[in-house]
Chains A and B, each alone.
Chain A
Amino acid sequence: MSSVLVLTPIIIANWPAITAVVTAAVATMGFSAVQAAETQQTQMAGTTREEIEVDNSEILENAGGRGEELVVEREGLRAVFTRDGRGVLRVCMEGKGHSKAELRKIGQELVDRVTQQYVYHRVMTEMKQRNMHVVSEEVAEDRTVKIRVRNW
């Protein structure tokens, strides 16, 4: 080896791009996107909420600057992804019969999967543009993705 770098990811994407990443990533945890009309549910008693900010994220503003919300659900759990006024990606977790700590744990796992999916997509796209070929790719038991690329 000649050098080893450890990198902290920064998500920089526009809303349509991050929507695609989120939809793909959360599907691996059994969540699926719901239509806006289906999200107009009344707040039920006993529903807990927990909000998580995605560190190191910058979501670029749409031309219209509206409609930047994505709702995904799984068995009574709801995660609402939004872009806040500063351009940071946020996730609001909602669920009945869940503690705040449980919601935070699930929400953090969603955020991790979104981040991993974003990084994977970004790396693969850029490597292809640089004519680097993927010679092996595997997903370890702990979900670490291992990729070897070369230029010959």
Chain B
Amino acid sequence: MAKEELDIEISPSGKVTVKTIGIKGPRCLDLADFVARIVGRVESRELTSEYYETAAQVEDRVDVKLRR
């Protein structure tokens, strides 16, 4: 099973910030969306570099094959 970690902050007024940690690719959205469904409505969403890592690795592999 993939290791998944989340930081969840609940502000004094109940607003929630969720950060996924160490989860690469769209899988991180699954987990974050799971929390979103529990809590309510998504106010903002930010993807950071780690989200794009899986896609970048695939592109690298394709690149190597083309050179052979």
> What residues of chain A have their CB less than 8 Å away from a CB belonging to chain B?
1-10, 56, 112-113, 115-116, 118-120, 122-123, 126, 130, 132, 142-152
Contacts and interface: CB of A to CB of B under 8 A. Distances in A.
B6 interface: yes
3 closest A-B pairs (Cβ-Cβ)? A115-B14, A10-B40, A2-B50
A131 to B, nearest CB: 9
A89 to B, nearest CB: 13
B48 A116 contact: no
A118 B14 contact: yes
Nearest to B39: A7
A16 B48 CA distance: 41
Interface of B: 1-25, 28-29, 32, 34-36, 38-48, 50-51
Nearest to A135: B5
8 contacts: A2-B22, A3-B19, A6-B16, A8-B41, A9-B40, A10-B41, A123-B39, A144-B10
Contacts of A119: 10, 14, 16, 39
Given A2-B23, A3-B28, A116-B11, A151 B40 contact: no
Contacts of A3: 19-20, 28-29, 32, 45-48, 51
B44 A5 contact: yes
B4 A150 contact: yes
Nearest to B33: A5
Contacts of A152: 1, 3-4
A60 to B, nearest CB: 16
Contacts of A145: 9-10
Nearest to A134: B8
B43 A150 contact: no
Contacts of A1: 19-21, 48, 50
